[in-house]
Amino acid sequence: MDRLIEAGVGPEFLLSEANHYRSRENIVVAASQTLLAGAVLGLISIGTLSAAAAAVAGNTGAATITASPAVAVGTPTGVYKLTAVSTGATAAFLLESPDGVALGEATTGTAATIGGIGPFTITDAGTDPAIGDQFTITVTDAAATGEGQYVKHDPEGVNGSQNVAGILYDGVVTGVGETARAVAIVRDAEVIAARLVWDDHDAGEKTAAIAALKAMGVIVRA
């Protein structure tokens, strides 16, 4: 008697996928994750930006600057220049990007945020700045912990996890300092809305994530 062999059944969230497993991608799940099949994923892809500011040697004035101003996500890296364009206790300094584009002016004694850098304050410490006095602000990007690894989607993340990157095929649990290989649905598939696993997304965040999945070719069906 011939035997009937039942084809494998995929996860409950998956309604259809492309032939030859084209919808799937091998991924690495980051440490300290507890994820169920159907979890909407983000991908760690953005490092930590930092800035270091200093006076250029040879300045006439004795002004100082905030040593480590904050840097907004997405700010280009490189050396920014702050150059005095007026003199006095409230001298103005023009901030230029690494490629020489003027971004705006900061006034001595007043906190400023320009071009994604700041707030920072230039302080007149005695001798007033002279025209041409200069500071540099060097913005660098340290590689993100777990860069290239997948985590639960976090709409408020700043390391790339805020960007939808797929749906986990099977559940995965990783410990502290441990990663795991897994499979994600990342293209050309249909999934069932009620079977997706969200974190603490509100309705608006879910709508935005579903739109992002659609842009990837993953269609969420009611």
| pLDDT tens per residue across span 21-43 | 999 999 999 999 999 999 999 99
Euclidean distance between CA atoms 154 and 160, whole angstroms: 9
131 close to 88: Cβ distance less than 8 angstroms: no
pTM of the predicted model over 0.75: no
Alpha helices per DSSP H over the chain: 203-216
Segments making up each domain of the chain, as ranges? 14-46+146-221, 48-142
Helix (H) or strand (E) holding 113: strand 112-114
The pLDDT tens digits for 103-140 are: 999 999 999 999 999 999 999 988 999 999 999 999 99
Annotation: CATH topology of 14-46+146-221: Virus Head Decoration Protein; Chain: A, (2.40.300)
Closest-CA residue to 142 (of 159, 156, 157, 161): 159
Residue 18 phi, psi dihedral angles, 5° rounding: -70, 160
Task: Give the pLDDT score at 8.
Answer: 43
The answer to whether residue 1 scores a pLDDT higher than 70 is: no
